[in-house]
Chain A
Amino acid sequence: MRTERIVLHFPKHLADKPVIVNLVRKFDLDFNILKATITPDEEGVMVLEITGEEENFQKGIQYLKELEVKIQPLSQDVIWDETRCTHCGYCVSYCPTKALQRDEKTYMVSFDPQKCTTCGICVEICPYKAMEIRLVI
């Protein structure tokens, strides 16, 4: 069994054709739509979680590629909204990778996205909602 989150870019000519349903019908894959949007130039973007046997998974991806659907792995970014942050420093001791740190003299909090592994603990606990997870598409 394999579960992957992927981002699909649908070209215009597929807009009115059934595609995702075939992942179930032809390849016995489960899917969960996490996000779906249509851009102003009518390209469709969908974030999908697909689960199935490895062989079916590969076949399903191949099917999408043949239809000219562009496929990217999904990544997440944690965003620090400094205007919401009160620099209390509550998050700092919870951050497992020290992406969130506090200056020893000024006590100001800083966030280094390079060190962040998007575990999401800061997003869960920040009382001021200064941390946010964004799907990068």
Chain B
Amino acid sequence: MAKTIEEINEKIREGKAVVVTAEEMIDIVREKGVEKAAKEVDVVTTGTFGIMCSSGIYFNIGHTKPRIKLGGGKVYLNNVPAYAGFAAADLFLGANALPDDDPRNRYYPGDFEYGGGHVIEDLVSGKEILLTATAYGTDCYPRKSLNAYITINDLNEAVLFNIRNAYQNYNVAVNLSNRPIYTYMGFLKPKLGNANYSSAGQLSPLLNDPFYKTIGIGTKIFLGGGIGYVAWHGTQHNPNVPRTERGVPKVGAGTLAVIGDLKGMSPKWLRGVSMKGYGVSLAVGIGVPIPILDEEIAFYTSISDDEIYAPVVDYSSTYPNREPDIITEVTYKQLRSGEIEVLGKKVPTSPLSSYVKAREIANILKDWIKTGKFLLTKPSAPIPGPESGIKFKPFSGREIKEEVKEK
């Protein structure tokens, strides 16, 4: 018998809802079967904590006296450039932004000590951030410069808005070349010296809802230690990919755009990241509740690491040149064992996302729901599934021969 979200919420209000983590659900379904599990369990909580580059914040600093129009000017936060293309007092900062004078990879591999992700962590921590701005001045906004310390408490709205998070599955990165390489998937030793992966696997939100039957626009989630919502499907959302018999994508597929009040979040779940030779970023903690509305959804949430496959990709050549080849497929169970076999060679594995934190998030969310602090929401619209026909396109702009010179 199918349940509704309203019925589940009623149980949550009464403190009677049965809430388990996606990890716990595996054994429940194995022991009791899908039918019984679907009846008994009301909510399955998922979690993921990893480096999610397409993250950012927007905020409003209020109006200075006299007024300054930041829009169209230049603004830096702790020397990191912010986007000032909105109105007078609104700014956007992306996790990958770097100070203009950062050496980047001029001294290879660069250290990327401090950037957008670190500013976001410092702001969430309540630290003072140095805001330096220049503007052109108008009759209504006469001021031309601003040099001030701000904290998150000084801001009006401060909102985390991540345009692509929670990737549904991801590549395993290896290096087939003869030289060490520094990638967003970490340091890769030459000649298959190691293999790096980045997914919470059986705990990951979209791997527990492979066809986006419950996660949609408006779904309330754990975001950065506070409350957030799914705002849209994420950029590069790619539901039409090869899937296993269980419907689980065998390569990177769906993504989520998420939004939430930064003021309710914590630096424990939003962490600045420095990837040697690559850049800066932000590690984000996300947890999504999945209402067990029927047996089909119960079945999906029982997915385990040995049933999820990831493609092994060469990041020395195939990836940078956007070739389609994959070397082999491995399961997350194999990856988590610490060693996989690639081209006949035993290769040590390293995770880039934290399974420990993913598990902690799933448990926190479980606790919030069990104690009635967190009710489920019904999506106002679904995110596109395979039936939408949406496929992620490669770059198809009309290129011009002349090289662009750096200004």
Note whether A and B form a binding pair: yes
For B276, give its contact among A102, A107, A124 (CB under 8 Å): A124
Question: Is the beta-carbon distance between A128 and B283 smaller than 8 angstroms?
Answer: yes
Asked if B219 lies at the interface with its beta carbon under 8 angstroms from chain A, I say no
Question: Is the beta-carbon distance between B350 and A86 smaller than 8 angstroms?
Answer: no
A93 nearest CB neighbor, chain B only: B348
Known: A107-B356, A128-B283. A89 touches B350 (CB 8 A): yes
Q: Complex: how many Å from CA A94 to CA B189?
A: 10
Chain B interface, >50% SS class = strand
Known: A125-B187, A127-B275, A129-B274. A90 touches B350 (CB 8 A): yes
Asked if B266 lies at the interface with its beta carbon under 8 angstroms from chain A, I say no
A127 nearest CB neighbor, chain B only: B273
B187 nearest CB neighbor, chain A only: A125
Asked if B72 lies at the interface with its beta carbon under 8 angstroms from chain A, I say no
Chain A interface, >50% SS class = loop
Asked if A87 lies at the interface with its beta carbon under 8 angstroms from chain B, I say yes
Instruction: Mark each residue of chain A from 99 to 112: 1 if its CB lies under 8 Å from any CB of chain B, else 0.
Output: 00010001111000
Question: Is the beta-carbon distance between A127 and B51 smaller than 8 angstroms?
Answer: yes
Asked if B382 lies at the interface with its beta carbon under 8 angstroms from chain A, I say no
Asked if A88 lies at the interface with its beta carbon under 8 angstroms from chain B, I say yes
Question: Is the beta-carbon distance between A125 and B354 smaller than 8 angstroms?
Answer: no
For A89, give its contact among B51, B271, B272, B351 (CB under 8 Å): B351
Q: Which B residues are in CB contact (< 8 Å) with A128?
A: 271-273, 283
For A87, give its contact among B51, B272, B276, B357 (CB under 8 Å): B357
B109 nearest CB neighbor, chain A only: A124
For B274, give its contact among A88, A106, A127 (CB under 8 Å): A127
Asked if A74 lies at the interface with its beta carbon under 8 angstroms from chain B, I say no
Q: Which A residues are in CB contact (< 8 Å) with B275?
A: 127
Q: Complex: how many Å from CA A92 to CA B272?
A: 20
In chain B between 324 and 352, which residues have their CB closer than 8 angstroms to a CB of chain A? 336, 338, 348-352
Least CB distance from A119 to B in Å reads 14
Q: Which A residues are in CB contact (< 8 Å) with B271?
A: 86, 128
Q: Complex: how many Å from CA A129 to CA B275?
A: 10
Question: Is the beta-carbon distance between B51 and A94 smaller than 8 angstroms?
Answer: no
Question: Is the beta-carbon distance between A86 and B49 smaller than 8 angstroms?
Answer: yes
Question: Is the beta-carbon distance between A90 and B273 smaller than 8 angstroms?
Answer: no
Q: Which A residues are in CB contact (< 8 Å) with B355?
A: 88-89, 107
B-side residues, CB < 8 A to A, are: 49-51, 186-187, 194, 196, 271-276, 281, 283, 336, 338, 348-357, 359
A-side residues, CB < 8 A to B, are: 86-94, 102, 106-109, 124-125, 127-129
**17 intermolecular pairs with C-beta atoms under 8 Å apart:** A87-B356, A87-B357, A88-B50, A88-B351, A88-B355, A88-B357, A92-B338, A93-B338, A93-B349, A93-B350, A94-B187, A127-B186, A127-B273, A127-B283, A127-B352, A128-B283, A129-B274
**Known pairs A90-B350, A94-B350, A107-B356 / 10 extra A-B pairs, C-beta < 8 Å:** A87-B356, A88-B50, A89-B351, A89-B356, A93-B194, A93-B348, A94-B194, A106-B356, A127-B274, A127-B352
